[in-house]
Amino acid sequence: MASPLELLRDQQSVVTRPLARCALGAWFPLILEEESNHWVRDMSISDENQFVHMDDDENRGLKGRYWHHVEDGKIFCDLCPRACVLKDGDRGFCFVRKNVGNEMILTTYGRSTGFCIDPIEKKPLNHFLPGTSVLSFGTAGCNLGCRFCQNWSISKSREIEQLSEDASPSGIAAAALRMGCRSVAFTYNDPVIWAEYAMDVAKACHEVGIKAVAVTAGYITPEARPEFYSVMDAANVDLKAFTEQFYQKLTLSHLEPVLDTLRWLKHESNVWFEITNLMIPEENDGPEEIERMCDWILTNLGDDVPIHFTAFHPDFKLQNRGPTPASTLQRARAQALKAGIKFAYIGNVDNPKEQSTYCPNCKQLLIERNWYELGAYKIKEGCCTKCKTRVPGVFENEKGAWGRKRLPVAIEH
């Protein structure tokens, strides 16, 4: 029988095909390979991988990093600011990191809730390889408790076995390469809780020239942050609001760790990142809050970090708020531009003018967008073609041609 490592790396017969039917609502399974045995790999070993057979399918997974022993046989999770303390058999708040035999086990390593090829603008990233396709996927669980979660069927899932299909890092990289994707995005649920898996996928992608993108709430500890982002090329960070009250009440978390991550990304990393603010009526959409947020961004991050103001729709446990009016998004964008932020966008509504990119110097239209479809593209060598002002981001001389398509895929061997 082939070794577990060979099973993970054997991608010689991978083929791709669209999936005809949705198995989980809006999310589609990607099948990379079937394994007859379940294994645990010791992630603390850097030069070789040690596999341990486990008979209990519920405990299938890999030994994780970012934890340490504490009193009474418990372990302390060092990955995110939630700081879960787990006795044997306990799962963290995220539900996917579990104490098994006084070691942290990653119950979703190598599992995906679905794969889809998206336009990169959907993440949203407007200044990172515009017009190109990205292979997007997530797992299950989350380390925040957002009452308004737009992906709650995945992030709040407790049915990991039913939701997940096997997907090895090298298999994902091979699939992205075969399908012509320029990047792979860790999305749908926060990759921080499956950091080891996301990092392994990112490394495998880099080996074949594919870039890695994290779509995240930025809720990660200073200890884990450098290693996680060292293999990410781009990120969209969800700054959900600008009050501690909102974070405590509606996300069961705290604001300051997110701000700390944003400062670190700007000043301590080479990751290209953009910010998203989901505007919820009567919760985080007031002009005073937007003004404070923009002032903080300018003071701490500078004027060239793009921000996306996106529309909320009632979902999960926040059904008593209506959809965000387009006028609210337009007002927030105008506030950001007036404050001095150079690139502000609105999303989840039809408004090509305010989804497009303009030169902050001469005001020429640089990238025309109609939803995720690109029109005019006037950037060469990373600069405005008219006045030669450098445009912050990662640009090529030709725009991508993926368009607004969203293609669910399955990969079989």
Q: What is the pLDDT of residues 201-224, one digit of tens each?
A: 999 999 999 999 999 999 999 999
The whole-number average pLDDT for the span 27-52 is: 29
Number of alpha carbons in the 13 Å side-chain half-sphere of residue 143: 25
Q: Is pLDDT larger for residue 39 or for residue 412?
A: 412
What's the token pair of residue 170?
């090298």
Please give the mean pLDDT across all residues of the chain. Answer: 84
Query: Residue 165 pLDDT > 70, yes or no?
Result: no
Tell me the pLDDT band of 112, cut-offs 50, 70 and 90: confident
Query: Residue 161 pLDDT > 70, yes or no?
Result: no
Tell me the pLDDT band of 314, cut-offs 50, 70 and 90: confident
pLDDT at 146: 84
Judged by average pLDDT, the poorest of 23-27, 276-280, 301-305 is 23-27
Contact (CB, 8 A) for 309 and 277: yes
The whole-number average pLDDT for the span 236-255 is: 95
Q: Which of 126, 133, 173 is nearest to 272 (CA)?
A: 126
CA distances from 193 to 31, 46, 187, 225 (A): 22, 20, 11, 12
pLDDT at 316: 54
State the Cα–Cα distance between residues 40 and 318, nearest whole angstrom.
38
pLDDT in tens, 358-407: 999 999 999 999 999 999 999 999 999 999 999 999 999 999 999 999 99
Q: Is pLDDT larger for residue 349 or for residue 22?
A: 349
Tell me the pLDDT band of 34, cut-offs 50, 70 and 90: very low
State the Cα–Cα distance between residues 278 and 289, nearest whole angstrom.
13
Tell me the pLDDT band of 36, cut-offs 50, 70 and 90: very low
The residues facing 274 across adjacent strands are 236
Of the ranges 50-54, 91-95, 180-184, which is most confident? 180-184
CA distances from 3 to 52, 108, 201 (A): 12, 20, 20
State the Cα–Cα distance between residues 413 and 178, nearest whole angstrom.
14
pLDDT at 308: 98
pLDDT at 410: 78
Query: Residue 178 pLDDT > 70, yes or no?
Result: yes
Residue 153, H or E segment? helix 152-155
Radius of gyration of the chain (CA): 21
Tell me the pLDDT band of 26, cut-offs 50, 70 and 90: very low
pLDDT at 150: 67
Q: Helices (DSSP H) in 180-224: which residue ranges?
A: 195-207
Output b/e per residue, 342-354; b: 16+ Cβ within 10 A: bbbbbbbbebeeb
pLDDT at 103: 96
Query: Residue 49 pLDDT > 60, yes or no?
Result: no
pLDDT at 390: 98
pLDDT at 326: 96
State the Cα–Cα distance between residues 146 and 157, nearest whole angstrom.
13
Query: Residue 18 pLDDT > 60, yes or no?
Result: no
Query: Residue 151 pLDDT > 70, yes or no?
Result: no
Contact (CB, 8 A) for 166 and 111: yes
Contacts of 368 (CB under 8 A, 6+ apart): 352, 356, 374, 375, 376, 377
Tell me the pLDDT band of 313, cut-offs 50, 70 and 90: confident
Q: Is pLDDT larger for residue 356 or for residue 13?
A: 356
pLDDT at 35: 29
**pTM for the full predicted model:** 0.84
As to burial, measured by CB atoms within 10 angstroms (0-12 exposed, 13-18 middle, 19+ buried), residue 201 is: buried
